[in-house]
Amino acid sequence: MTMDLTPTPSQTAGPFFHLGLTDSGSVSRVASEGAKGERLWLTFRLFDGDGLPVPDGVIELWQADSEGNYKDGRAADGAFSGFGRLATSEDGSCTFETIRPGRVPGPGNTLQAPHINVSVFARGLLKRLSTRVYFAGDAANAEDYVLALVPEHRRATLFARPDPVRERGWIQEIRMRGEGETVFFDV
């Protein structure tokens, strides 16, 4: 009997990927009570190329405050950090408590639509995947410079949709490959 010792993609970074990254570094609360802006809960659902949940991924967020300012770790009021990091659970999900970001400057004198910058870390990835989350139905989406660079038929992969169950909740599915693959940016 011979054994094939060739690593599979799920073994290149181990099936234990999230263990040292989030145990002491989990940050689910991007905006605490008292943060200015529209409070919301953003749930991510991470799927692999076969449409199966990724139970050991890590999602990181970086976002502007409600006035469109990035805090770079120094929240003036102490209630908004602008950063979050969570491991996904067995069903591939994690939920952040945050606020709807304000519009940040774009090229020239334009403004970008409210969005959240997202990094995905998971087994089999040697580099993070970078994407954005926009809010479905926001009128400013039509004016966003970055969103306009994405082919129209792929833009829907970047939109969080209202959660039908949770008040002030939004859901964003991230598909790492395959049909409906999320748009990722080369940053």
**pLDDT (tens digit, 9 = 90+) per residue, 67-82?**
999 876 454 557 899 9
**Alpha carbon distance 173, 107 (integer Å):** 28
C-alpha to C-alpha distances, 69 to 34, 63, 66, 72, 103, nearest whole angstrom: 17, 8, 7, 9, 8
Nearest to 107 by CA among 69, 164, 141, 146: 146
**Domain segments of the chain as ranges:** 10-175
State pLDDT tens for residues 101-141: 999 999 999 999 999 999 999 988 889 999 999 999 999 99
Q: Which CATH architecture has domain 10-175?
A: Sandwich (2.60)
What single-letter amino acid sits at 85? R
Q: In the chain, helix, strand, coil percent, each to 5?
A: 15, 30, 55
State pLDDT tens for residues 13-42: 454 445 555 555 688 999 998 999 999 999
